[in-house]
């Protein structure tokens, strides 16, 4: 933290505690129209999952309604939401992906 003293000099004050960066879950939501292969591709390309893991996560989302694609700092999570949503819309799929704090 920086502040000015009575003479206008800047003073640097030590922080007494450090906050951990908050993490955000990126969730995939199920729908009836997005092809399973597209969701598997998304999990591989944007969330760096291996094929077998991507298939398991996709099927869990399909059955349960939603599932965690990955956990990231806020800016990374929001970028992934924007990139995946843009890709899905470009292909005409209604896939929904959201970020929520852990």
Q: Write the DSSP string, 27-71.
A: EEE--SSS-HHHHHHHHHHTT---HHHHHHHHHHHHHHSEEEEEE
Binding region for ligand TYC (CB under 6 A) = 28-32, 34-36, 39, 58, 61-62, 95
Smallest distance, Å, CB 76 to ligand TYC?
A: 20
Does residue 20 sit in helix, strand or coil? coil
Smallest distance, Å, CB 95 to ligand TYC?
A: 5
Choose between 10 and 62: whose C-beta lies nearer to ligand TYC. 62
Which sign does the torsion angle of CA 25, 81, 97, 50 carry?
Answer: negative
Choose between 36 and 86: whose C-beta lies nearer to ligand TYC. 36
Choose between 1 and 44: whose C-beta lies nearer to ligand TYC. 44
């Amino acid at each position: 933290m920086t502040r000015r003293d009575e003479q206008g000099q800047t003073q640097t004050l030590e922080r007494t505690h450090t906050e951990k960066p908050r993490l955000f879950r990126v969730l995939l939501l199920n729908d009836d129209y997005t092809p399973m292969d597209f969701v598997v591709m998304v999990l591989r390309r944007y969330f760096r999952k291996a094929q077998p893991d991507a298939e398991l996560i996709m099927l869990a989302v399909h059955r349960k309604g939603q599932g965690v694609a990955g956990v990231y700092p806020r800016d990374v999570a929001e970028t992934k939401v924007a990139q995946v949503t843009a890709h899905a819309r470009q292909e005409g799929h209604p896939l929904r992906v959201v970020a929520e704090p852990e």
